[in-house]
Amino acid sequence: MEKMTIIQAALCGVVYWLAVGNLPFVGLWSLQRPLVCGMITGLILGHPVQGAVIGATINLVYLGFMSAGGSMPADMGLAGVLGTAYAIVGGLDTDTALALAVPIGILGTIVWAGRMTFDCFFVHIADKYIEKEEYNKIWRANVLFPQIMCFCMTAIPCALAAYFGSNYIQGILNVLSGKVLTVFQIIGGLMPALGIAITLQYIFKGESKVFLFAGFLLAVYSKLPLLTLGIIAFLVAVVYVQVTSAATPVAADYDDEDDEEDD
Amino acid sequence: MENKKKSLIPKAALIKAWLIWETFPQTCYNYERMMGQVCAHMFSAIIGFLYKDNPSKRKEVMKREIEFFNVHIEFGSCILGMAIALEEQKAMGEEIPGEFITNLKTSLMGPLAGMGDTIWQGVVIPILLAVCIDMTRSGSGNVWGAIIYAVVIVVAAYALSYWNFMFGYKAGSEAIMDFLEKGILNKLIKGASIMGCMVMGGLVVNYVKATCGLKIVSSTSTYNVQESFLDAVCPSILPLAMTMLVYYLLNKRRWSSLKVIGLIVVIGIVGGVTGILAY
C-alpha cells in the first residue's frame, strides 16, 4: 500500500480548485470531468494510466450532468479527484471507487452553493469601481478576489481530505471485504445507469427513441467499440435527417408529375 | 454592405473583450447577478474607445452592462458581440435607447441558454465523453482518451465562442433571431439526438453492470437464471431495464438525481445481501 505525501495532497487540492473555480472557464468542460481530473490526480500520485481508468469509470455517472442556471446537481470535480486518489492509495477496484466517489460528489455541492452566495459580495466592489470610474480595476472584483476566496474554500479542504482520508482508507478497506465489498461493487456497477438516464432526458424524444434500442442491440451482438459505434451512429443520423427532410419536396415533385400526365 | 461600416473599436480590443468573456465568465459566479459582472469586465476592455470625452456616458454604459445576465457561454457569446455592436452604434450617435439593449440581451439569453445547454451538455459532451471513456478503458488502460477529450472540448469551446461572438458583432440582433427561427437548428438537434441515443444504447451494454445471482438448485442440475434465462432472452437486458427505470423515475416521476442515488444504494444492498444480484 502506498502513502500520500503532503505535497501530493496539496497538488490534489490545487487540481480541484482549478476544476471547480472555472479559471479559465473551459475548466468546467475539461478539468472538472473526472475523466480528466482523475488522470491528472493519477499523474500526481505517479499512476496516470490507473488514474485515467478510475476517473473514466467515475465519469460514467456524470455523463449528462448539467450545470444550468447556476445549479450544480453534483460536484464531479471533487468526486473525480478524491475518488481517484482514494482508489489509487487504497488499491480499490474501479467499481468500488465509483460507489465511494458518488457521495463525495454530493458533499461537494455545499462548496458550490457557498461560493455562489459569497461571490455576491464582490459584485458590489465592482459597482464601487464603476462609481469611481476605475474600470481597469474591475478585473480584481471579477477574478482576483473571488478566486482567492475560492482557493481557500476548495483547495484547502480538498487537500486535507485527500491527505487524511487516504490514511483512513486502509482501515476502511479492512472492513470492506466479503459481502460488504460485493454490495459496493454492485452499487458501482448500477450507478452509470443514472448518468445515461440523465442524458436521455434531453435526447430520448420522438423519432430518436427507437435509435436507443437500435444502438443497444447493435452493441450487444456486434461487440463493437464505442468509437466505431459512434461513427455508425453519426452516419445513421445524417442519413435519417436527409431522408426525412427530403420527403416533403419529393412528394411535391411527384404531385407535379401527376399533374403533367393528366394534361 | 452595411457590415462594412466604420467602427470605433479596433479588432485587437474586440478580441481582448472576447477572450475576457470566454476565460472569466464564472470566476465570480454568484446568485445575485450571475454573469453580469463579466459583461462589465469585458466592457472595461473597450470602454476607452467609446465616448472619448464624455465620462458620464461611459459610466452609463458600464452601469447598464453590470446588470443581471446569464447564458450558455459559447452559444450565448453572440449576445455579447451584439451588445458591443449596439453600444458602439449608440456611441456613434444612433438613436438606441439604453433599455432596448438591456431588453434585447435578456430576451435572447433564455432561448440561447436553453439551446446551448441541451446541445452542449446534453449531446456533445456525453457523446464525446462516452467515446473517450471507452478509449481510456480499452485494453489495459491508457491516458489518450482523457487527453483527446480535454483537447477537443477546449478547442471546440474557444472556436465556437469566437465565431459566435464575431457573428453577433457583425450580423446583429435580427440575424440571431433569424437563426433561432430557422429549420437548420431543428435538423441539427434531431440528428444529434439520434446519434446520442444510439451511443447511449451502446453505453448501457458496455458500462451498466447488473447480473442476476439466483441459482435454482435441483437434485440433478443447477439452473443459473442469468446464463440460462436472461442471457438467452437478450444479453444486457438487466442493465437496459435498470436504465429505463431510472429514466422513468427522472422523467415521469420527477425524481431528483439524489433520490435515484438513494434508490440505487438500496437496490445494491438488498440485491447484494439476498444474492439476487451478483457481481
Q: Give me the tens of pLDDT residue by residue for chain B, a chain 279 residues long.
A: 344 456 889 999 999 999 999 999 999 998 888 898 999 999 999 999 999 889 999 999 999 999 999 999 999 999 999 999 999 999 988 888 888 899 888 888 888 888 888 889 888 999 999 999 999 998 889 999 999 999 999 999 999 999 999 999 998 877 777 777 777 777 888 888 899 999 999 999 988 999 998 888 888 888 888 888 888 889 899 999 999 999 999 999 999 888 998 999 999 999 999 989 988
Our CA-based measurement puts residue B26 at a distance from the nearest CA of chain A, in whole angstroms, of 6
Look up residue B59 and give its three cell numbers. 459610466
Look up residue B242 and give its three cell numbers. 435498470
Q: How far apart are CA B177 and CA A153, in angstroms?
A: 41
pLDDT score at A258: 41
Matching residue, cell 465489498: A181
Distance of CA A234 to CAs A197, A212, B129, Å?
A: 20, 13, 15
pLDDT score at A248: 55
φ/ψ of B69, rounded to 5, equals -155, 140
Check pLDDT > 50 for residue A186.
yes
Would the CB atoms of A60 and B47 count as touching at under 8 Å?
Answer: no
Would the CB atoms of B123 and A211 count as touching at under 8 Å?
Answer: no
Q: DSSP labels for B102-132?
A: HHHHHHHHHHHHHHHIIIIIIIIHHHHHHHH
Q: What is the mean pLDDT of residues A208-220?
A: 94
Interface test with B, best of A226, A227, A238, A242 (most B CBs within 10 A): A226
**Residue B247 touches chain A, beta carbons under 8 Å:** yes
Our CA-based measurement puts residue B2 at a distance from the nearest CA of chain A, in whole angstroms, of 31
Q: Which residue of B has its CA nearest to A128?
A: B63
Look up residue A207 and give its three cell numbers. 423519432
pLDDT score at A1: 53
Name the residue type at position B174.
Answer: E
Residues of chain B contacting A139 with CB distance shorter than 8 Å: 24, 41, 44
Would the CB atoms of B25 and A22 count as touching at under 8 Å?
Answer: yes
pLDDT score at A262: 41
The ipTM, to two decimals, is 0.84
Q: How far apart are CA B153 and CA B138, in angstroms?
A: 21
pLDDT score at B221: 82
- Measure CB to CB from residue A197 to each of B143, B250, B272 and give the nearest one: B250
Q: What is the mean pLDDT of residues A147-159?
A: 94
pLDDT score at A175: 73
Judged by DSSP in three states, A173 sits in: helix
Most confident range (mean pLDDT) of A141-145, A170-174, A222-226, B1-5 is: A141-145
> Nearest to residue A161, comparing CAs of A93, A94, A96, A75?
A75
Check pLDDT > 50 for residue A257.
no
**Residue B275 touches chain A, beta carbons under 8 Å:** no
- Measure CB to CB from residue A202 to each of B118, B210, B243 and give the nearest one: B118
**B177 Cβ neighbours under 8 A, 6+ residues apart:** none
Would the CB atoms of B264 and A194 count as touching at under 8 Å?
Answer: yes
**Residue B255 touches chain A, beta carbons under 8 Å:** no
pLDDT digits (tens, 9 = 90+) for A161-185: 999 988 777 677 677 677 888 888 8
> Nearest to residue A62, comparing CAs of B249, B242, B261, B272?
B261
Check pLDDT > 50 for residue A253.
no
Q: How far apart are CA A170 and CA A2, in angstroms?
A: 10
Of the listed ranges A26-35, A136-145, B94-103, the least confidently predicted one is B94-103
Interface test with B, best of A31, A32, A35 (most B CBs within 10 A): A35
Q: Which residue of B has its CA nearest to A69?
A: B70
Interface test with A, best of B16, B18, B29, B188 (most A CBs within 10 A): B29
Would the CB atoms of A39 and B34 count as touching at under 8 Å?
Answer: no
Q: How far apart are CA A213 and CA A252, in angstroms?
A: 33
Residues 11-40 of B with CB under 8 A from A: 22-34, 36-38, 40
Of the listed ranges A125-129, A249-253, B26-30, B189-193, the least confidently predicted one is A249-253
Our CA-based measurement puts residue B40 at a distance from the nearest CA of chain A, in whole angstroms, of 7
pLDDT digits (tens, 9 = 90+) for A68-103: 777 778 899 999 999 999 999 988 889 889 988 998
Binned at pLDDT 50, 70 and 90, residue A146 comes out as very high
Q: What is the mean pLDDT of residues A40-59?
A: 96
Q: What is the mean pLDDT of residues A190-211?
A: 90
Interface test with A, best of B27, B71, B125 (most A CBs within 10 A): B27
Our CA-based measurement puts residue B1 at a distance from the nearest CA of chain A, in whole angstroms, of 33
**Residue B148 touches chain A, beta carbons under 8 Å:** no
Residues of chain B contacting A87 with CB distance shorter than 8 Å: none
